[in-house]
Amino acid sequence: MPYGLPNMSFIGYPLAVPCRGHSGLGLRQVTRADTDAVVEHFLALDPVDRWMRFCATLNPEAIRRHVEGLWDRDGVILAACDGPLFAGPLHKAGPIRALAELLIVGEEAELGISVDPSLRRRGIGTYLLQTGASLLEPRGIRTIRATTMPDNSSFIGMAHALDGTVNYTPDLVEVSFDVATLAAAYRRRRAAEMLRFAGSYPQGA
């Protein structure tokens, strides 16, 4: 069931996800209160994924410093939660299964993105990026940039699939995405979801 604001939408996919008996991940923006859950998400990535994500070998302390530094930056940080979207008096939110950092630098945003290995190739990375673009577009951001390693076939594949521009340098790959293209894809997808949802209501009285 799709619901909510652009920054609190729903990714439905037909898969029994780990931990909780529900049919999809909830997507929302994260804040300083989510620091521990974001750190846990990064620590659950294996060393190769962490290398691809950060282009560096970060130990747990460095990961925590990275996360604690996020909240003072301008931008949009989106998480896909497997379980309750928000913490309550008797439960924690999450856990976080995917995260997209879109940090604003001048008139552009820098992307860092990661999806739990068990949930890849289900469109979650794409949906996070498209949703982030739809939130950045009204702020005048036109381009999203990312850097990764030349052997990162998953992210380079994703960049090609989303019409990104991929530039190889000897040590790194630089990718840029057009925000308007991603945001338009987000709107098409949301419109299709809303129509499907409307069609699932019983007609008549």
Is the CB of 10 or the CB of 155 nearer to ligand COA? 155
DSSP at 122: S
Is the CB of 91 or the CB of 160 nearer to ligand COA? 160
Least Å from the CB of residue 48 to ligand COA = 8
Is the CB of 128 or the CB of 135 nearer to ligand COA? 128
Least Å from the CB of residue 52 to ligand COA = 3
Least Å from the CB of residue 202 to ligand COA = 33
Question: Measured between alpha carbons, how far apart are the two ends of the chain, in Å?
Answer: 21
Least Å from the CB of residue 137 to ligand COA = 19
Q: Where are the alpha helices (DSSP H) in 55-201?
A: 60-70, 124-136, 153-161, 179-199
What residue ranges bind ligand COA (CB under 6 A)? 49, 52-53, 112-115, 120-126, 146, 148, 152-155, 157-158, 161
- Alpha carbon 181 to its chain's center: 17
Is the CB of 60 or the CB of 91 nearer to ligand COA? 60
Look at residue 53 and give its three-state secondary structure: helix
User: Does 202 sit behind a cis peptide bond, omega within 30 degrees of 0 on the bond before it?
Assistant: no
For the chain, how many helices (H) and strands (E)? 6, 8
Least Å from the CB of residue 154 to ligand COA = 3
Is the CB of 153 or the CB of 200 nearer to ligand COA? 153
Q: Which residues of 182-197 are buried (b: 16+ CB within 10 A; e: fewer)?
A: bbebbeebbeebeeee
